[in-house]
Structure 1
Amino acid sequence: MSQDKLELIRNAGPSVLPSLLLCDFGDLKTELARLEDAGTRVLHLDVMDGHFVPNLTYGMPIVEGIRRHSDLPMDVHLMISDPLRYAQPMVDAGADLLTFHVEAVEDAGAVAREIRSMGAAVGVALNPDTDLSALDGCLDEVDMVLVMSVDAGFGGQSFNPVALAKLAALKQSHPDLLLEIDGGINLKTIAAARAAGCDLFVVGSAIFKQDDYAAAIAGLDAEIAGGVS
């Protein structure tokens, strides 16, 4: 990870980040090409371990495979119990930004410093029921905060507006910090997230369940523009 990739992520905002969890992994190269043609500037990967969250997704081989076919920055969301155990392998596989959950560690500041020493940018995530005070002591150590608007790892949940209040509070207290939101982001919710100060918007079904990725992303971008922070 070079500082250049972090700057690419910063400069992409406000931007839609497709969550590859819903893509066609049987034709990954084509999916990546479609996303790049649609104007994608950063990719989002959800890594789940079946322990910290009940779902199990993918690991380093998928990150490596994506890196072989795309130069886009990769934002890797570690929904796992022991983020430091897999952080270096993820960086070696091609991850540019690693985000761990504050609920999964005892000392978020120390974890952030360790990940940064591996050459990656660092994000910290928190679930809807986790108070912002849980981030005390680590905000000066991270490049980004991912505010979950649903509980990590659980599908079929409704957007929780508590995320908007958290985004607004973080924007006020740390205006230079990158802010990301994940969970239930679509044409109905994305403008409110932008108005609350969000920079990066993780989107799954609102892109991958559409026939035309470019049209889907353009529609989301238009809503972002209408919700100017």
Structure 2
Amino acid sequence: MGAPVIESLRKHTKAYLDCHLMVTNPLDYVEPFGKAGASGFTFHIETSKDNWKELIENIKSHGMRPGVAIKPGTSVEEVYPLVEAETPVEMVLVMTVEPGFGGQKFMPETMDKVRILRKKYPKLFS
């Protein structure tokens, strides 16, 4: 699904529409999703290590709430700078399966990351 689907949905709902994108260059998608009416834009830290500050600013400038996702094998510490930044992400999505295909089994060990984030950043979850 892409920005055209968000645009179609937005005409019929005021619901929060979070768009979680696992793409190589998320900056290319910020403007189209913002114009389409997305509420939130969640990108993967793994594809944005070099430009996350610019990406967060761009997401906010297009009226969306920035979020970051991490894959099961990515260290939770990698998102700390994004949560603690002057312009921070507003949500952290901990993936409990590898992105890319359905039917996978839940990886319970990923819940440790959730516990760590909840303890370190309680306001992130309020």
TM-score by length of 1: 0.51
Would you say the 8 A contact 2:7–2:37 is kept in 1?
yes
Would you say the 8 A contact 2:35–2:62 is kept in 1?
no
1:155 is aligned to: 102
Q: How does 1:214-229 map to 2 (within 5 A)?
A: none
Aligned residue type for 1:166: K
Aligned length: 122
2:12 is aligned to: 69
Structure 1: gaps of 5 or more residues: 1-57, 179-198, 200-229
1:59 is aligned to: 2
Q: Report the secondary structure of 2:69's partner residue.
A: strand
Structure 2: gaps of 5 or more residues: none
- For residue 21 of structure 2, the aligned residue among 69, 78, 86 is 78
Shift of 1:69: 1.4
Shift of 1:164: 1.0
- State the structure with more CA Rg: 1
Would you say the 8 A contact 1:109–1:137 is kept in 2?
no
User: C-alpha root-mean-square deviation of aligned residues, in Å?
Assistant: 1.4
1:177 is aligned to: 124
Q: Distance in 1 between matches of 2:64 and 2:17?
A: 11
Does 2:48 align with 1:101? no
Q: How does 1:106-125 map to 2 (within 5 A)?
A: 106-107=49-50, 108-125=52-69
- For residue 89 of structure 1, the aligned residue among 24, 28, 32 is 32
Aligned residue type for 1:175: P
Q: Distance in 1 between matches of 2:34 and 2:58?
A: 12
1:28 is aligned to: none
2:70 is aligned to: 126
Shift of 1:151: 0.8
Q: Report the secondary structure of 2:93's partner residue.
A: strand
Q: Report the secondary structure of 1:103's partner residue.
A: helix
Q: Tell me the percent identity.
A: 39
Q: Residue deviations 1:160-181, cap 9 Å, x none?
A: 0122100000001000113xxx
Would you say the 8 A contact 2:30–2:58 is kept in 1?
no
Shift of 1:120: 1.0
TM-score by length of 2: 0.89
Q: Distance in 2 between matches of 1:146 and 1:177?
A: 11
